[in-house]
Amino acid sequence: MKILLINPPRSPENNILKFAPEEAKRFIHKKLIGPPLGLLTIAAAVKDHDVTVFDTKGEYDLVEETPPLDRLVRLLLEKHQPDIVGVTVITSEFGFCIEICRTVKQFNPGILTVAGGLHATLCPQDFTDPSFDIVIPGQCPHIFQEVVRMKENGGSYTSIPGILINSAAGLHRTAGKPAPWDTADADYLMPDRSHLKRWIDTYKVGNSPFPSTYVFTSLGCPYKCTFCSIWTQFKGKYFQRTVESLIHELKSIDEYPVVRFADANTVVDETFMLHLFKRMEEEGIRKTFIMDIRADVAANRPDIIEKLARGGLKVVICGFESFRDEELKKYHKDSPAIDNQEAVKVFEQNGIMVRGNYVVPPDYNLNDFQALAEYADRNRVVYAGYTVLTPMPGTIYYQQVKDQIIDHDYRKYNFFNSVMKTTLPHDEFHTRIGSLWLIKKGTDVI
């Protein structure tokens, strides 16, 4: 089978950038770069077939005059003549996934279109556009293998448990439970990064001359923050990889001197992390590491941060979220604001650059903005990010406020646009968040 897996482009919607004062614009992050790990894992699962992965994000970064998406996809279809096209979907890129699948169906209705990824897991009911044939929620490399087998052998997809089939009769879930798949451990499949050679030079963060890649050490999260879709994606379960499988993966990615751990919360099992760093030392693995670490971990266990720093940890992304305990409680963050201050000290003592992220609720008034600015100023970090508290579909926060949502355009669900009514006038709210991006120590942008 010829399989074409497409990573959709980024959503261009960014009201913080649009309304920010000129002097802040250069600091506001415009694009996150990184490999589509999900698609690369799916590619690894069907490697015996003729598989092509196309990263449109990488392509638009690499070649300025890349044609618009529909034209680009048509060119790909003409070149590869696939039997199956797969797309990976997060909420803000859902519209582009529809555009990709519609272009596929116009080109050749016989091509099977398959959607997977976070949004397919949390909101499979959204995939009613006739251009989608099959939706596979969850960690599903084994199910995708079955779909490919069925396409090859001409059987009926209804016999595959755990998928959604979209037809003229509507979107229907097949009966039965999918076979278990131990995605982080026994069944772990290493993402096939060989597909990314063309775009490797675009995967550079900030001023780094070296390309970076993502590696996940775990999936899910044991915490339950109301605005977060990571724990809901895994129904609150947490899956840790093994140290030796990580060592194997890290040894196989020499071309990437910078590694960002993709876990949204990297240090959950402290013993595991220390063991991993000890094994890296034994194996002579020397890389620069970027991690997401909760403030309470740094505040409570400075000894761990010290050891990780010695092993190559250079940048930490830390979700400060708020400077007010009552807000942190409301978000179920399970970590008071004082931990943010402590964490900054611990990271800095160890030479680690911090990217601290605050989320700004739509009901902030002028006094709230002033108080946040003063706090952020007192606790300056090298890179600071200020985004909008957004009700991502599939989160508790979405359930709490869904009746107050006024903008249902998914392209805006990327933390850079308010989709709810703001207390301040809409444009001013975004301008004020834009101004906050000036409050930081460094001059680089990541």
User: Least distance (Å) from ligand SF4 to the CB of residue 236?
Assistant: 9
Q: Which stretch binds ligand B12 (CB under 6 A): 27-35, 60-68, 204-212, 270-278?
A: 27-35
Task: State the Cα–Cα distance between residues 44 and 294, nearest whole angstrom.
Answer: 32
430 near ligand SF4 (CB under 6 A): no
268 near ligand SF4 (CB under 6 A): no
Whether residue 89 contacts residue 136, with contact meaning beta carbons closer than 8 Å, is answered with no
CB atoms within 10 A of CB 111: 19
Q: Which stretch binds ligand SF4 (CB under 6 A): 121-129, 136-144, 163-171, 217-225?
A: 217-225
262 near ligand B12 (CB under 6 A): yes
Q: Which of 97, 111, 246, 264 binds ligand SF4 (CB under 6 A)?
A: 264
CB atoms within 10 A of CB 355: 21
Q: Which of 140, 205, 313, 381 binds ligand B12 (CB under 6 A)?
A: 140
Q: Which of 1, 18, 25, 37 binds ligand B12 (CB under 6 A)?
A: 37
Q: Which one-letter amino acid corresponds to residue 442?
A: G
69 near ligand B12 (CB under 6 A): no
Convert residues 221-260 into a mask of x (bound to ligand SF4 by CB under 6 A) and - (unbound).
Answer: x-xxx--x-xx-----------------------------
Strand-pair category, 164-167 with 134-136 = antiparallel
User: Least distance (Å) from ligand B12 to the CB of residue 419?
Assistant: 13
183 near ligand B12 (CB under 6 A): yes
Task: State the Cα–Cα distance between residues 173 and 120, nearest whole angstrom.
Answer: 13
- For ligand SF4, the binding residues in 313-372 under the rule CB under 6 A are 319
Q: Which CB, 54 or 429, lies closer to ligand B12?
A: 54
Q: Which CB, 135 or 328, lies closer to ligand SF4?
A: 328
Long-range Cβ contact pairs of 372-378 (< 8 A, separation 24 or more) = 372/323, 372/436, 373/435, 373/436, 373/439, 375/323, 376/323, 376/436, 376/439, 377/439
91 near ligand B12 (CB under 6 A): yes
β-sheet bridge partners, residue 5: 53, 86
391 near ligand SF4 (CB under 6 A): no
Whether residue 225 contacts residue 332, with contact meaning beta carbons closer than 8 Å, is answered with yes
Q: Which does residue 415 touch among ligand B12, ligand SF4, none (CB within 5 to 8 A, set by kind)?
A: ligand B12
Q: Which of 17, 24, 36, 202 binds ligand B12 (CB under 6 A)?
A: 36
β-sheet bridge partners, residue 85: 4, 113
Q: Is the torsion defined by CA of 157, 162, 166, 170 positive or negative?
A: positive
Whether residue 397 contacts residue 361, with contact meaning beta carbons closer than 8 Å, is answered with no
In the complex, the residues that contact ligand SF4 under the rule CB under 6 A are 221, 223-225, 228, 230-231, 264-265, 294, 319
